[in-house]
Chains A and B, each alone.
Chain A
């Protein structure tokens, strides 16, 4: 089943065409990495996939349920109630974590499940404890975000996203704000999630990571998908642009 389906997505900011007719499918359990140079549109694609940004044209659906369709060359979104339900299917981990600074780690994780999903407080807290343990942060439940390192904050934000029990987890350059050592912490967590067959879409600059964890890689440039396929296929591609791009990372 296609957990995420994007068809002929177009998006522009003022005069600038950022996404030019992009189509992307993500199947259940798939880990898709989106790579490409800065300004290629990969972050915009992720923001459109998570509905933080509205598409100009194209089709968008989650788990086979339609969120937007194309009509007379323009995207039409479903009613807000329907979108709210669809939004509950996915979570997003931000580049800058975006934890709530006034909430403790525990409250950061539990507040939305309790307030938004109206779940039982006790059950949510149990799940949060399990997630914190998995993230290696069981002793940080009562800490506030400012007391944590960047890597720890990012792990809390992953736990916060997971506690909503999403079907798909999106990552927007989750390690870009971290130094190499902290990056390793996050990549390990994502690797563990991949082993549990969590469906994930990751925008990343970590080429080795993309190669090792993703089972599908999308290479974007100038608002189009230049090539997509299995990691080995991309990393051994003859395409000049991909070679150049990957070459820069191998140096």
Chain B
């Protein structure tokens, strides 16, 4: 197999890695906000449940979580799992895990807001939702952007964990090619791919940070 053929195969894996990345962000960013609200809820039960949830998601390996989501239905309920379920399991696993991390980032940002901002908004008659949407959230986004960038970069690299349930993303294919062709080329190509991907992520996030630097 020539290098160009190998690269063709790797390109397919790249596409898979990209959609895992995209779909995970698409769902985990908003879900994280819901979980953050649960975590800050005044209701003890809601707060307790989200706290346990976050604790489990952060306290166990993502690799293990992916396996539980994928094999769980069969081992626990005897449900036959179709090969396509792989893709769904990957999304569920990644979204649940990343939402927990994002929730904690949101919470740290929201709780770092000075109480005076809420009081000023209250005196001016803003409703609770107006206060959050127009006064608090824009400032929170600016504050948490560096932490979010960190998490997003980790996600790019974490997509390679999908290999444990045999989703043919970039890393899975690189590994298979490397052993079948006894070549380092797939690993080098994979390394370059992850690096370039993250370089782009960092560049975009920096642009957004710059865009928000009009105030302090």
Residues of A within 8 A of B (CB): 50, 52, 84, 87-88, 91-92, 94, 96, 98-102, 111-112, 115-117, 144-146, 160-161, 164
Chain B 183-216 per-residue mask, 1 if CB under 8 angstroms from chain A, else 0: 0000000000000000000000000000000111
A93 nearest CB neighbor, chain B only: B123
Enumerate B129-146 residues with CB–CB distance to A below 8 Å: 130, 134-135, 138-139, 142
Q: Does B2 touch A at the CB level, under 8 Å? A: no
Most B-side CB within 10 Å, residue of A92, A111, A112, A164: A112
Q: In the complex, are the beta carbons of B116 and A115 less than 8 A apart? A: no
Q: In the complex, are the beta carbons of B216 and A160 less than 8 A apart? A: no
For the complex of A and B, 4 pairs with smallest distance between CB atoms:
A98-B120, A112-B124, A98-B116, A146-B216
Residues of A within 8 A of B215 (CB): 101-102, 144-146
Q: How far is the CB of A164 from chain B (nearest CB, A)?
A: 7
Given contacts A87-B123, A115-B130, 4 further A-B contacts (CB under 8 A): A98-B114, A102-B139, A111-B134, A164-B125
Q: In the complex, are the beta carbons of B125 and A87 less than 8 A apart? A: yes
Q: Does B71 touch A at the CB level, under 8 Å? A: no
Instruction: Give bound CA distance, A208 to B10, whole Å.
Output: 79
The DSSP consensus for interface residues of chain A is loop
Q: How far is the CB of A100 from chain B (nearest CB, A)?
A: 6
Residue among A94, A144, A145, A161 making CB contact with B116, cutoff 8 Å:
A94
A47 nearest CB neighbor, chain B only: B119
Q: How far is the CB of A173 from chain B (nearest CB, A)?
A: 13
Q: In the complex, are the beta carbons of B125 and A100 less than 8 A apart? A: no
Residues of B within 8 A of A96 (CB): 116
Q: In the complex, are the beta carbons of A94 and B120 less than 8 A apart? A: yes
Q: Does B122 touch A at the CB level, under 8 Å? A: yes
Q: In the complex, are the beta carbons of B216 and A164 less than 8 A apart? A: no
Q: How many A-B residue pairs have CB under 8 A?
A: 53
B123 nearest CB neighbor, chain A only: A92
With A101-B215, A102-B215, A115-B130 as known contacts, state yes or no: A164 contacts B124, CB within 8 Å.
yes
With A115-B134, A116-B124 as known contacts, state yes or no: A100 contacts B119, CB within 8 Å.
no
Q: In the complex, are the beta carbons of B123 and A52 less than 8 A apart? A: yes
Q: In the complex, are the beta carbons of B139 and A160 less than 8 A apart? A: no
Q: Does B163 touch A at the CB level, under 8 Å? A: no
A146 nearest CB neighbor, chain B only: B216
Q: In the complex, are the beta carbons of A112 and B216 less than 8 A apart? A: no
Instruction: Give bound CA distance, A98 to B117, whole Å.
Output: 6
Residues of A within 8 A of B122 (CB): 52
With A88-B125, A117-B125 as known contacts, state yes or no: A102 contacts B138, CB within 8 Å.
yes
25 A-B residue pairs with CB within 8 Å: A87-B123, A94-B116, A94-B119, A98-B116, A98-B117, A98-B119, A99-B120, A100-B135, A101-B139, A101-B215, A101-B216, A102-B138, A102-B139, A112-B124, A112-B125, A115-B126, A115-B134, A116-B125, A116-B126, A116-B130, A144-B214, A144-B216, A146-B215, A146-B216, A160-B124
Instruction: Give bound CA distance, A49 to B110, whole Å.
Output: 27
Most A-side CB within 10 Å, residue of B125, B130, B135: B125
Residues of A within 8 A of B135 (CB): 100
